[in-house]
């Protein structure tokens, strides 16, 4: 699988046309802050948290290729970010922009890869670059499905 195929896979999972249903970005399109912060139960994740979680892992993958130090993610913390801390439409919109920007940064990293890089592991990893990139695309599809489920639950309870 070459670099161009991986870019197409990343795009299809994130925002491109797909046969499998809504992409990650399509899943959060037109989501209002009330829906983004709603939880089906007190301990369940919400759409907002899933969105930042997806952004964080795109950041973590891109960081493997850039050598960037940890701690550069635009929100404090790692992996899971309890939301809403700032229950406003502006905060939700800003966090969606974080996801978009980090996706673009990851794409730029992938575009700069040499096809021979795909079969070797980046520094500090035992997983090949190609497997990491396929995994992050699948991660987007997985969480898009979760978000779609949360949206349906939200609509059914209102």
Helix extents (H) in 70-128: 89-111
Domains along the sequence of the chain with CATH: 3-157 (1.20.120.450)
Half-sphere exposure in the Cβ direction for 61 (13 Å, CA)? 29
pLDDT in tens, 97-114: 999 999 999 999 999 999
pLDDT(158) > 90: no
Burial of 88 (0-12, 13-18, 19+ CB in 10 A): exposed
Predicted pLDDT at 86: 72
pLDDT in tens, 45-84: 999 999 999 999 999 999 988 878 787 899 998 899 999 8
Burial of 118 (0-12, 13-18, 19+ CB in 10 A): buried
Q: Is the pTM of this model over 0.85?
A: yes
pLDDT(123) > 90: no
pLDDT confidence bin for 125, thresholds 50/70/90: confident
Instruction: Mention every residue, 6+ apart, whose C-beta is less than 8 A from residue 150.
Output: 38, 40, 46, 47, 50
Predicted pLDDT at 34: 95
């Amino acid at each position: 699988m070459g670099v161009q195929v991986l870019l197409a896979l990343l795009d299809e999972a994130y925002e491109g046309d797909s046969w499998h249903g809504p992409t990650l970005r399509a899943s959060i399109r037109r989501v209002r802050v009330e829906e983004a912060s709603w939880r089906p139960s007190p301990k369940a994740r919400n759409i907002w948290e899933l969105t930042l979680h997806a952004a964080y892992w795109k950041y973590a993958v891109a960081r493997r290729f850039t050598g960037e130090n940890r701690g550069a993610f635009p929100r404090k913390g790692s992996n899971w970010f309890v939301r809403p801390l700032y229950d406003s439409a502006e905060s939700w919109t800003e966090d969606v922009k974080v996801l978009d920007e980090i996706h673009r940064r990851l794409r730029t990293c992938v575009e700069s890869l040499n096809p021979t890089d795909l079969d070797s592991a980046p520094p500090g990893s035992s997983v090949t670059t190609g497997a990491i990139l396929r995994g992050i695309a699948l991660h987007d599809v997985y969480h898009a499905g979760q978000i779609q489920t949360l949206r349906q639950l939200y609509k059914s309870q209102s």
